[in-house]
Amino acid sequence: MASGEATTAVGADRRILDVSGLRAGYDGRPVVYDVDLAIFEGKITCLFGSNGAGKTTCLKAISGLLRPFAATIRYDGEERAVGHAARSAGEGIAFIPSERFTFAELSVEDNLALGAYSERSAAARGERREELLDMFPVLRERLDQRAGTMSGGQQRMLSIAMALMSGPRVLLLDEPSLGLAPAIVEQLMETLARLAAERGLSVLMVEQNVGQALRVADQVYVIRSGRIILEGEATRMRERDDWWDLF
């Protein structure tokens, strides 16, 4: 797959994250092979594929949680070392796993505060907090409640809010709709689109809910058996009648 195709698909937008030759897996066995991905500043890129296709492995390798066997990753134009999750977070790359990732014994308020630990500006922390509580009003109602006592869907909302509290430049999202009601999923997608358009947030999203993700996507990749088999502009992808032949 030629990464240049991604450039022409989105146009002259600036690449914020450029991944080439990504080969990664577990216990010495590859799961993804020579994957190329381009994430553009202020754009939403979706990675679709069936269970086991290698989507989560790609996100973990890009975020630094998994050291790839081979890859060249450029962030904001500069090549960066792989396999350093803490450094990625410090540079503004936030990863939200598909599992509920919250501190169960702490309150919702404390979880949100921990999400913003790297933000020194109290004003910025307060502004983000209010914006996210407007986005997820159920969290405002439960600020004093321990996270572990909330439902799965509510904990999912909290994990997303925690990542956004850090004010990331790049957001890596693994199945953000998992466990959320359809109305909340729609609201979440609209919020991501607004953050991308208004604040330049760059998103790489793995999602099984193709219909909802396509509503806000700018660029689409499809992975099957660890290899990218299709990429293109989302407007063209929305014209497809069927996706099952790709999965």
Residue 223, both tokens: 């992975």
Angle at 233 between CA 135 and CA 32, to 5 degrees: 85
**CA–CA dist 64, 87 (Å, integer):** 8
Helices and strands (DSSP H and E) totals, the chain: 10, 10
Q: How confident is the model at residue 11 (pLDDT cuts 50, 70, 90)?
A: very low
The conformational region for residue 226 under phi > 0 = left, psi -120 to 50 = alpha, else beta, is: left
Element (H, E) at 159: helix 152-165
**CA–CA dist 104, 20 (Å, integer):** 37
What pLDDT does residue 12 have?
A: 53
What pLDDT does residue 35 have?
A: 97
Per-residue pLDDT tens for 187-238? 888 888 988 998 899 999 999 888 889 999 999 999 999 999 999 999 988 8
What's the mean pLDDT when you consider all of the chain?
A: 87
Per-residue pLDDT tens for 116-152? 887 788 888 899 899 889 888 999 999 999 999 998 8
| Residue listed under structure tokens 């869907």 | 153
What pLDDT does residue 3 have?
A: 41
**Lowest-confidence region among 80-84, 100-104, 154-158:** 80-84
Task: Work out the burial of residue 88: count CB atoms within 10 Å of its CB; fewer than 13 is exposed, 13-18 middle, 19 or more buried.
Answer: buried
The one-letter amino acid code at 203 reads V
**CA–CA dist 64, 93 (Å, integer):** 10
For the chain, the C-alpha Rg in angstroms (whole number) is 17
Per-residue pLDDT tens for 142-183? 999 999 999 888 888 898 889 889 888 999 999 988 878 888
Q: Give the global pTM.
A: 0.85
